[in-house]
Chains A and B, each alone.
Chain A
């Protein structure tokens, strides 16, 4: 028993002494270690913002910043360092961008990514000393247009973010601009002018097709990829075999599709929603629909007397290919969600049997019901047209 107590006491004593020594060491080393960690962070930051000092990470949750912004640091003199992540040629590009208090880009550093040519490392240098007014004049690098354009757009986002973080306001690139930028990166020859093609044929996973206004080619959107093709639909960009095969299988159908209007006067029972009907060269139907939403059926003081206009393409078997809202004047912030891709794309791929499985727009029952009843008229119209095909 005596031995046991002696054992416990000596071990406890040794532990206590060692713990005391560790506490002393830690009190000496901890501040130095902290200083070093801060120095390691700021040495990366100083690289893109020379003369910067006293960096502090910012809480970004209070700000509405462009999507590309991942992290931001403020600096004593009023400058910012912004970490950006953007889509490049083959993978995500991660950049650090330093901006001084006057809104001039002081450094752009390529942190990581998997680009093909190696020019990306130096392309950032071209953007140094630009401001939001002069950045557009910087030319993209021949042979690495996509990467350099992605660089430029990210740095633009950083410039905007610096203004927002400084308490100012600026127009963030909205969805339409981002889309246009993505299209331009994929197909620079279009000079930024694209028109969406309404898809009338079954196209698998392709979610949208854009045509260059100057007839230099097409851009197919499949998943998150923007795939450029020339006027004949041949893919010009480097992409995986799966995506290439998928697109080249349907590209000619989409590009060569033509529509002939059907004279509806001969069909007595045609639902009143149907404004116009077309038959495509691929054998499908396209309808222009009018849906009576809140603008027609709602409260008399708020109604706009406007229909929701919808374009739908349908296979002869009655399967919706693409549905799109083309015009609407529903209540702002509520029913106007029927113009959102998230809402109308729910109808894509639906048939008469399952078209009811649609998530209603919150707070806009009348709009949703009007929309759905217009879409359901398509199935009736198909039966009439197919039955009475002349």
Chain B
């Protein structure tokens, strides 16, 4: 049973609780970096590394971090990992560094990472938090890859920078532009919701109880009061 739940902690991020398509987190980097497959892939991996590390550390420190200052603590930890990842990418993978640009820094405030810290790592053991980080990271990367595959092939007529014959002469540049990104994003959400029968969004974790802003949100207080 325990193995089962570990496995599900890993796998749920890929489809059932996919951070992009189901939790609808991290929309900004999703739309911004999916114009090319290479950019999307490197963004996904970079975010996954930060996610795994920050999940592990936040989970390990969950008993030490005082509840009232947990968000600042999370942000300091996350931004520390982001800066470390950024420095290493800049040093060893300069082409990817110039490709990702400012979005690399913005991983710090990526909702997925902060959201997982709040929803999961702050309440679960280190092992499960790492698995959650891996699963969510893979889910994020796959989501970016699928969106960027559609956008780059149709919009630019290339695959990972290589020209595709015929399509390159008949590309639809709309898909590379932000509205095209939103359109593909919306369609993907619809497809995933269809596949999962829309089950995931009704889990308790995604209601007001799991929301980082619950403490200061008026709507949420009202909802919780009624439920109790």
A positions within 8 Å CB-CB of B: 3, 6-7, 10-11, 14-15, 18-19, 21-22, 25-26, 28-30, 32-33, 36, 40
Collect the chain B residues with CB atoms within 8 Å of residue A15's CB: 76
Query: Which residue from chain A places its CB closest to the CB of B73 in the assembled complex?
Result: A14
Task: Please report whether the interface of chain A is mostly helix, strand, loop or mixed according to DSSP.
Answer: helix
Residue B206, interface by CB 8 Å: no
Question: Using an 8 Å CB-CB cutoff, how does the interface string of B74-85 with A read, 1 for contact, 0 for none?
Answer: 001101100110
Q: Check if B64 is an interface residue, CB within 8 A of chain A.
A: yes
Question: Can you give 13 A-B contacts (C-beta < 8 A)?
Answer: A7-B68, A10-B65, A10-B69, A14-B65, A14-B73, A18-B77, A18-B79, A18-B80, A22-B80, A28-B87, A33-B87, A33-B90, A36-B90
Residues from chain B with a CB closer than 8 A to the CB of A19 are 80
B40 to chain A minimum Cβ distance, whole angstroms, is: 24
Proximity bits, B82-117, A CB within 8 Å = 1, else 0 = 011001101110100000000000000000000000
A22 to B87, CA, bound (A): 9
Residue of A nearest to B69 (CB): A7
Known: A10-B73, A32-B91. A22 touches B83 (CB 8 A): yes
Q: Is B72 an interface residue (CB 8 A)?
A: yes
CA distance A40 to B66 in the complex (A): 47
Q: Are B72 and A25 interface neighbours, CB within 8 A? A: no
In contact, B66 and A14 (Cβ under 8 angstroms): no
A24 (CB) vs chain B CBs: closest residue:
B84
**Chain B residue, CB-CB nearest to A40:** B94
Residue pair B87, A14 in contact (C-beta under 8 Å): no
Bound Cα distance A30, B79 (Å): 18
Number of interface residues of B (CB under 8 A): 20
Instruction: State the Cβ distance, B28 to closest chain A Cβ, in Å.
Output: 24
CB distance from A104 to the nearest CB of B (A): 33
Chain B residues with Cβ below 8 Å from A40 are 94
How many angstroms between the C-alpha atoms of A117 and B80 in the bound complex? 51
Please report whether the interface of chain B is mostly helix, strand, loop or mixed according to DSSP. Answer: helix
Please, how many angstroms separate the alpha-carbon atoms of A7 and B80 in the complex?
Answer: 19
What residues on A are CB-neighbors of B65 within 8 Å?
10, 14
Q: With the chains together, A22 CA to B77 CA distance in Å?
A: 11
Contacts A6-B66, A22-B80 known; A11 to B91 CB distance under 8 Å?
Answer: no
> Which residue from chain A places its CB closest to the CB of B74 in the assembled complex?
A14
Give the distance to chain B from A383, nearest Cβ to Cβ, in Å.
70
Inter-subunit contact A11/B76 (CB<8 Å): yes
Name B91's contact: one of A18, A22, A29 (CB within 8 Å).
A29
Smallest CB-CB separation from A20: which chain B residue? B80
A6 to B68, CA, bound (A): 10
Task: Please list the 3 inter-chain residue pairs (A to B) with the smallest Cβ-Cβ separation, ordered nearest first.
Answer: A18-B80, A32-B91, A29-B87
The answer to whether A25 and B88 have CB atoms under 8 Å apart is yes
Q: Let me know if A21 and B87 touch, CB within 8 A.
A: no
Report yes or no: A14 in contact with B83, Cβ–Cβ below 8 A: no
Say yes or no: A21-B84 contact (C-beta < 8 A), given A29-B91, A33-B90: yes
Task: Collect the chain A residues with CB atoms within 8 Å of residue B87's CB.
Answer: 25-26, 28-30, 33
From residue B29, how far is it (CB to closest CB) to chain A in Å?
22
* CA–CA, A104 and B69, complex, Å: 67
Which of A14, A32, A33 lies in contact with B76, CB distance below 8 A? A14
What is the chain B residue whose CB lies nearest that of A15?
B76
Interchain CB contact under 8 A, B66 and A22? no
Beyond A7-B68, A10-B66, A29-B88, whether A21 also contacts B80 by CB under 8 A is yes
A33 vs B66: C-alpha distance when bound (angstroms)? 37
In-complex Cβ contact of B84 among A10, A22, A33 (8 A): A22
In angstroms, how far is the closest chain B Cβ from the Cβ of A55?
A: 18
Expressed in whole angstroms, the Cα–Cα distance for A21 and B76 within the complex equals 12
Tell me the minimal C-beta distance from B38 to chain A in angstroms: 19
Q: Which B residue sits closest to A34, measured CB to CB?
A: B91
Asked if residues A11 and B69 are in contact (CB atoms below 8 Å), the reply is yes
CA A2 – CA B3 in complex, angstroms?
41
Closest-CB distance, B100 to chain A (whole angstroms): 15
User: How distant is A178 from chain B, measured CB to nearest CB, in Å?
Assistant: 39
Q: Taking CB as reference atom, which chain A residue is nearest B80? A: A18
Residues of A within 8 A of B88 (CB): 25, 29
Residue from A25, A30, A33 in contact with B83 in the complex, judged by beta carbons closer than 8 Å: A25
Shortest C-beta distance, B65 to chain A (Å), equals 6
C-alpha gap A29/B76 in the complex (Å): 20
Question: Which of B72, B79, B91 is within 8 Å of A36, CB to CB?
Answer: B91
> In the complex the two chains form, is B66's CB within 8 Å of A29's CB?
no
Taking the nearest CB of chain A, how far is it from the CB of B95, in angstroms?
10
* Most-contacted residue by chain A among B68, B72, B84, B92 (CB, 10 A): B84
Question: CA of A10 to CA of B72 in the docked complex: distance in angstroms?
Answer: 11
Contacts of A22 in B (CB 8 A): 80, 83-84
Beyond the given pairs A7-B66, A18-B80, A19-B80, 17 more chain A to chain B contacts, judged by CB atoms under 8 angstroms and listed by A's residue number, are A6-B66, A7-B68, A10-B65, A10-B73, A14-B61, A14-B65, A14-B73, A15-B76, A18-B76, A21-B80, A21-B84, A22-B80, A22-B83, A32-B91, A33-B91, A36-B91, A40-B94
Report B56 CB to chain A, min CB distance, Å: 14
